[in-house]
């Protein structure tokens, strides 16, 4: 769970025109700090760094409770914190991340081009199933299908779709999804997140290609 949950993230960051300028700036700051922690901070320092960022993202939801984007990023940060921590002790954080993402969907399912669907799907794919957790590959697939309807060419939904297909043993389809993800358009202001996600994709493609031999 540690290795896979920690990838959560950076789903995102297309322009958030519906937000006012202060909220856009606040959201961009959280996104950029997430990418820095995820892709530049040494692994042993990530738990503390994500804990600090989780406090900021949680404060955003308290102060702007009707902003779906705030809840999306609170869920992403909290799930990444859980991934950095690892183990069964992280399950409470994963459940909180799930609740945050479900809240975002109740407010605006298409916020950040459906990122809540993709992020929630990633949790269902990676968390252990009952009785330990709530993991469910069928639910993950349904959520990913919703995410791809909204954002069919996005790097993150395509990455998670490819990962899901890989887990299900559909290696050729996984490769097609991941190859398409590598062709995704750059996201302005999200250069570090894009670079890190491409590395995630390339690592997964290495495993996919081994299965195809």
Q: What is the pLDDT of residues 151-191, one digit of tens each?
A: 999 999 999 999 999 999 999 999 999 999 999 999 999 99
Per-residue pLDDT of 82-137, as tens digits, reads: 999 998 889 999 999 999 999 999 999 999 999 999 999 999 999 999 988 999 99
Range of the domain at 116: 2-212
Q: Total structural domains in the chain?
A: 1
Percentage of the chain beyond pLDDT 70 is: 92
> What's 34's domain CATH number?
1.25.40.10
Q: What's the per-residue H, E or C state across the chain?
A: CHHHHCCCCCCCCCCCCCCCHHHHHHHHHHHHHHHHHHHCCCHHHHHHHHHHHHHHHHHHHHHCCCCHHHHHHHHHHHHHHHHHHCCHHHHHHHHHHHHHHHHHHHHCCCHHHHHHHHHHHHHHHHCCCCCCCCCCHHHHHHHHHHHHHHCCCCHHHHHHHHHHHHHCCCHHHHHHHHHHHHCCCCCCCCHHHHHHHHHHHHHHHHHHHHHHC
- What pLDDT does 194 receive? 97
Residue 16 predicted with pLDDT over 60: no
Give the confidence band of 12 by pLDDT, cuts at 50, 70, 90.
Answer: very low
């Amino acid at each position: 769970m540690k290795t896979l949950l920690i990838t959560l993230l950076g789903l995102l960051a297309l322009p958030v025109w519906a937000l006012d300028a202060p909220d856009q700036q606040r959201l961009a700051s959280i996104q950029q700090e997430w990418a820095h922690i995820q892709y530049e901070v040494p692994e042993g320092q990530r738990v503390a760094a994500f804990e600090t960022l989780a406090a900021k993202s949680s404060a955003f939801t308290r102060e702007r409770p009707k902003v779906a984007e705030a809840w999306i990023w609170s869920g992403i940060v909290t799930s990444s914190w859980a991934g950095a921590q690892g183990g069964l002790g992280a399950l409470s954080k994963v459940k909180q991340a799930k609740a945050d993402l479900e809240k975002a969907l109740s407010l605006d399912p298409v916020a950040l081009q459906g990122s809540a669907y993709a992020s929630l799907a990633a949790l269902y794919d990676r968390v252990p199933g009952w009785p330990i957790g709530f993991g469910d590959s069928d639910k993950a697939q349904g959520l990913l299908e919703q995410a791809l309807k909204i954002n069919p060419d996005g790097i993150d939904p395509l990455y998670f779709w490819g990962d899901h297909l890989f887990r299900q043993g559909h290696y050729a389809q996984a490769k097609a999804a991941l190859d398409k993800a590598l062709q995704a358009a750059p996201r302005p202001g999200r250069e570090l997140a894009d670079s890190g996600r491409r590395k995630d994709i390339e690592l997964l493609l290495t495993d996919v290609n081994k299965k195809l031999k």
